[in-house]
A and B are shown apart, each in its own frame.
Chain A
């Protein structure tokens, strides 16, 4: 079954492994992820002022593309893109006058008819594939692997776009269990990763990464599992940099949920981009017998 998806720029640059692993697991589960045509930037987090309609143009234009391509659903892999597209979707459904304004501005496009459902890929796996189904397809249960789930903010806030309880989410824990691994629950799972401070305050972001990873280490987690490419970059790259800031400190590896699913489904390890992480996940995966 074909499923339209919106990639976003990060999946084409620094998170190619997220895209590759998602496509691979979807195929294994009987879905072909089809990249939508002529997509543009998601809009990257609309501004918080109320007179910000221009910032919704990018998102809305993508939703028009989905309607044009004859679809009423689009999957999104990047948390930031999901959040941005979903906020536009909610605003357009709530305010016909905002939608009219944007439709009339984009007079070169067909009017948006508010028919598209936006789903994060993780949400799709839970609600449409089902973790129970996924569990049945697991070939190599991640037995013995201790995984700390980490959410960050984009899947959970603001509450209107959340795919789970904003304070105590469990979707990643449920997924970890379905894959046969052990969940290391933790109070840091909805803490901030440092977000875009990674550009102007690298050390602050490194400290965030260290505090999150340190909790995991002291509770014997083997690695951190997450879904957001920006969180991944900060925990992985800035976390690695924290090693040179603190004597004897060592950052835990961070993997996308799609990579761990792919490993549990027994997919080709070579295609998962495990070698593109700043903190190499291979040693611990080898130690736990997940990879050869």
Chain B
């Protein structure tokens, strides 16, 4: 074997040059490169996502993952796009959470002490076991926001649940069958509409839009070629990041 051959082999067979970890995807064993996210590792193993995958950036909540490491007693919970693989992970993805959502018209509600309890009465079944909190990949104090909802503290429930991305793991784990993330969405809607002060800036901007302030730019863009629009998108200015160098996100 020539030196060149060896180098080729290194490039072609990453398992020989890259440290790997052993993981189990739905019970089947794979060696995947260390440093991969769970999501990348599953794709590396040859799976193609149809569900359980969305933004790949920790925001959409589509890639809820349940795993256990080796012989550990405890179950762990994560977002596949955010969590790195570890030795001995037994993984399963949760593609969908059957969690019925109450129908309500936010305009017909008032932020009363019992508004949330009336719409989601099952929150009164909470036994404070805290299993929801322990299953949250966002480290939200889930039980505490349910408790605050129960006692009519809508503002606090909204605040505590602010980082919820609705992956649904809490609802899958609850022994009282509470659909936590729908409850907290109601809390945030009530707070946004009725409790927090109205945003003057938002109203001003909405008025501008209604008056057609940006319609010239929209019309101009609608007449552009696709390639020009793509190029403009690549060169767009991202807030807090300044001007991107040309082709930087290619």
Contacts and interface: CB of A to CB of B under 8 A. Distances in A.
B153 to A, nearest CB: 7
Interface in B165-182: 175
B150 A108 contact: no
Interface string B183-199: 00000000000000000
Interface string B127-145: 1111001100000000110
Interface string A101-143: 0000110110000000000000000000000000000000000
Given A38-B144, A41-B147, A108-B133, A12 B128 contact: no
Interface residues of B, number: 17
B150 A41 contact: yes
A9 B153 CA distance: 10
B152 A108 contact: no
B126 A41 contact: yes
A54 B130 CA distance: 11
B151 interface: yes
B128 to A, nearest CB: 4
A13 interface: yes
Consensus secondary structure, chain B interface: loop
Binding site secondary structure of chain A? loop
A207 interface: no
A55 B133 contact: no
B114 interface: yes
Contacts of B127: 43, 54-55, 57-58
A146 interface: no
A57 B128 contact: yes
B129 A57 contact: yes
Contact of A40 (B114, B144, B175): B144
B113 interface: yes
Interface in A1-47: 9, 12-14, 38-41, 43
Contacts of B143: 40
Interface residues of A, number: 18
Given A12-B152, A13-B152, A43 B133 contact: no
- The winner among B130, B133, B150 for most chain A CB atoms within 10 A is B130
A12 B113 contact: yes
Contacts of A61: 128, 130
Contacts of B130: 57, 61, 106, 108-109
A58 B127 CA distance: 6
Nearest to A61: B128
A40 B152 contact: no
A43 B151 contact: no
Given A38-B144, A40-B143, A108-B134, A9 B150 contact: yes
B151 A58 contact: no
Nearest to B112: A13
A292 to B, nearest CB: 31
Contacts of A40: 126, 128, 143-144, 147
A41 B113 contact: no
Q: Pick the most buried of B126, B127, B144, B152: most chain A CB atoms within 10 A of its CB.
A: B127
A13 B113 CA distance: 6
A54 B129 contact: yes
A5 to B, nearest CB: 15
A57 B128 CA distance: 6
B126 to A, nearest CB: 6
A108 B144 CA distance: 14
A123 B129 CA distance: 30
Interface string A54-69: 1101100100000000
29 contacts: A9-B151, A9-B152, A12-B113, A12-B153, A13-B113, A13-B151, A13-B152, A14-B113, A39-B147, A40-B126, A40-B128, A40-B143, A40-B147, A41-B126, A41-B128, A41-B147, A43-B127, A54-B129, A54-B175, A55-B127, A57-B127, A57-B128, A57-B129, A57-B130, A105-B129, A106-B130, A108-B130, A108-B134, A109-B130
Interface of A: 9, 12-14, 38-41, 43, 54-55, 57-58, 61, 105-106, 108-109
Given A12-B153, A41-B126, 19 more contacts: A9-B151, A12-B151, A12-B152, A13-B113, A13-B114, A38-B144, A40-B128, A40-B143, A40-B144, A40-B147, A41-B147, A43-B127, A57-B129, A57-B130, A58-B127, A58-B128, A61-B130, A106-B130, A108-B134
